[in-house]
Each structure stands twice: as structure tokens, then as C-alpha cells.
Amino acid sequence: MKAVQIVELTGPDTALRVGDLPEPDPSHMLSPGSGVVVDVHAAGVSFPEVLQTRGEYQLKPPLPFVPGSEVAGTVRSAPEGAAVKEGDRVAAFCGLGGFAEIAVAPEFLTFGLPDALDFAQGAGLILNYHTAVFALQLRGRLDAGETVLVHGAAGGVGTAALQVAKGLGARTIAVVSSAGKEEVARAAGADEVVRSDGPWKDEAKELSGGGVDVVLDPVGGDRFLDSLRALREGGRVVVVGFTGGSIPEVKVNRLLLNNTEVVGAGWGGYVMSKPQANREIGAVVERLVGDGYVHPLVGARFPPEQAADALKLIEGRAATGKVVLEFRR
Ligand SMILES: NC(=O)c1ccc[n+]([C@@H]2O[C@H](COP(=O)([O-])OP(=O)(O)OC[C@H]3O[C@@H](n4cnc5c(N)ncnc54)[C@H](OP(=O)(O)O)[C@@H]3O)[C@@H](O)[C@H]2O)c1
């Protein structure tokens, strides 16, 4: 099968090789001896793969390895008792091995792909949307009628968070860095859009009538203090990632003064050992697809041979929505 491997840790330009590899066994490291084998149509590309080309991600498999955490395609084989069967269209989270014509995922991280979504959209369904549901609903305790501010709102997690928040009945304020990204955030359902290079904190406070209930933050960096200041009493900043580069520090007296919270949301660490939690989050995502709220925005599609370009698009902050590699059309 055709696959893209990381062969050295020298960054997106030089780290990747496309080649022929043996087909994988129907076994996944999270479910040894068992796994759903998927004929991959599209593989999702995300920030962690950029980091993996430099050995900077927490998951550091020995070289060479096939990166790619999530795919969409059709089931080639499934273990007995699985919720999916041969021929089904699925979205699957494989962790690694997704940048290939055939990938393997645990049964509890494989979900039927709703007819409303194509394979490229399916390749953007799990990491971003399951994270958005987990971060907003489970960790941020977002309620209908509350206001949520989303940083990096034109990105993968950001667009997913906007759609999920609308589906949960919240009002949304998107923070983005350019006019092009403003359009993307609006297409994802942002009620209001503010610019990260402007007085976004004051604008957000005004737009929300005194402060937002939840900030979803995949960016981190310098803006973190203003995120805390943008909260109303009882508000929560949900920490999702650090695309801005630096990891912020909090002086906890700020939390005390305004009765606010900083909450961590690490989707992978939470759900990998909890099949039932995955099914519950999957059911919320499926309902939101059915209700028309969730429809992954696919920003750019590349053939496997151009995987480096896909990674560089993300690294260069130019990606909008989901970036995918197409293995079958
Ligand atoms: N906690 C979890 O469970 C979890 C799950 C999935 C992903 N993540 C993390 O969430 C983060 C976002 O992932 P994503 O897929 O949404 O990424 P993405 O599509 O590349 O979007 C990230 C956004 O961050 C903003 N940004 C600000 N400074 C940046 C910089 N220096 N370089 C690049 N982007 C910058 C950009 O928006 P503007 O240009 O508009 O500022 C960009 O659109 C990543 O760190 C990822 O690892 C965490």
C-alpha cells in the first residue's frame, strides 16, 4: 500500500517519504489483537503532525513511522461485535498510521460517517469535533444561552468549536487574525468576529454585555491574560492548545478576584481508555450533524505526494478549516 512516512526529524520540508509498505494487521495498540481496518479515502492533517516531523510532539514513535491520526473511508474488516461492518462508510481515529491507503483504528474510536458528509469532511470529524464537544460541554460546562469566545476560530479546532457551540445553544464570538479568516469564521457560524490584532478583549466584553462565559483557547501565548479579563463572574477559560508558541502562566489571584476558572481539556488523554466516553461524545457529534450544525469545513486537499505542502500550510498559519490528504477519490 502507498503510505507517507516520517523518516527523519528535520521538519516538514525534508522529513517525509512516500513509498510502498506492507498492509497493516487488524490490530491496534489501544486494542491489541483487534481493530477496524479501513480503506482510506481521506486522511486529516493537523498541527501534531507538523510537530512530529521535528520530534517535538509528546508521542515519539521510533523512525520511520507513518503519521496521521484520523481518516475517513470504508471498512475492509471489523472485529466481531463492532458497531460497524465491512463496506460501511466511517470516520476513524487511528492515532498513527493514517497517512496510508489502509489504516487500523480501535473499534471504540470508529464511527459511522453520516450520509450528509463526504470523506474529506469525515477526515476532520473526530479530532476537532470530539475535542470541541469534550472541551465545551464536559470541561467548560457550556450551557445554552451562554456566550463563548473562540480563539484561532478559523482553524480546525476553532471552526469545530464554533459549530458545536451553536449546536449547544450558545452565542459565539470568534477571534481571528485576518479578513480571510473572518469569512471562514462567519461561515462556521460565528455570531460576532473580532480581530486578534485589535482591542478584542474590550470588544468581546461589550458584545457579551460585560464578559463572556467561556473562552476556548487553542492558541495560548500572550493573549491569555486578556482571555481571563474577558470573562464574566463564574467564567471559564478552557485550555486546548498552544499554536501561539508559548505556554502562558496564570497569577491565581486573578481567579480569586473574579471567581473565574482555568480548565484544562486534553481530549486524547481523557478518552483513549474510555470506550463509553467516546460513544457518548460520538452520539453528540452525530446529533449535531443530523441537526445541521456540524459540517466540517475542508480548506485544502492534497495528494499524498504533497504531504509536505499540507504540513507547511498549517505551519505557516495559512490553513483554514481542515487540511486533508486524499488517498482515493
Ligand atoms: N487539547 C486537545 O485535546 C486538542 C485536540 C486537538 C487539537 N489540539 C491542539 O489545538 C491547537 C489548534 O489545532 P488546530 O488543528 O485548530 O490548528 P490550526 O487549524 O492550524 O489553527 C490554529 C489557529 O491558531 C492561530 N495561531 C495563532 N498564532 C499562531 C501561530 N504562531 N502559528 C500558527 N497558528 C497560530 C491561527 O489563527 P489566527 O491566525 O486567526 O490567530 C490558526 O488558525 C493545536 O495546538 C493542537 O495541537 C488540542
The model's pTM is: 0.95
C-alpha angle with apex 79: 126 to 290, nearest 5 degrees?
35
Pocket-testing residue among 222, 317, 322, ligand 1, by greatest number of atoms within 8 A of Cβ: 317
What percentage of residues in the chain have a pLDDT greater than 70? 100
Judge whether 245 and 219 are in contact, CB under 8 Å.
no
Quickly list DSSP for 102-118.
Answer: EEEE-GGGEEEPPTTS-
Farthest CA pair distance, the chain: 59
Q: Which residues line ligand 1 (CB under 6 A)?
A: 46-48, 127, 131, 152, 154-158, 176-177, 181, 196, 218-219, 240-245, 265-268, 314, 317, 319
What average pLDDT score do residues 149-176 get?
96
Residue 158 Cα to ligand 1 midpoint, Å, equals 8
**Residue 43 CA: distances (Å) to CA of 86, 191, 195, 260, 271:** 19, 30, 31, 38, 21
User: pLDDT per residue over 96-113, tens digit each?
Assistant: 999 999 999 999 999 999
Residue 308, all three cell numbers: 509536505
In the predicted structure, residue 319 carries a pLDDT above the cut 90: no
The residue whose C-alpha atom lies closest to atom 31 belonging to ligand 1 is: 244
Quickly list DSSP for 57-95.
Answer: SS--PPSSB---SEEEEEEEE--TT-S--TT-EEEEE-S
The residue whose C-alpha atom lies closest to atom 9 belonging to ligand 1 is: 241
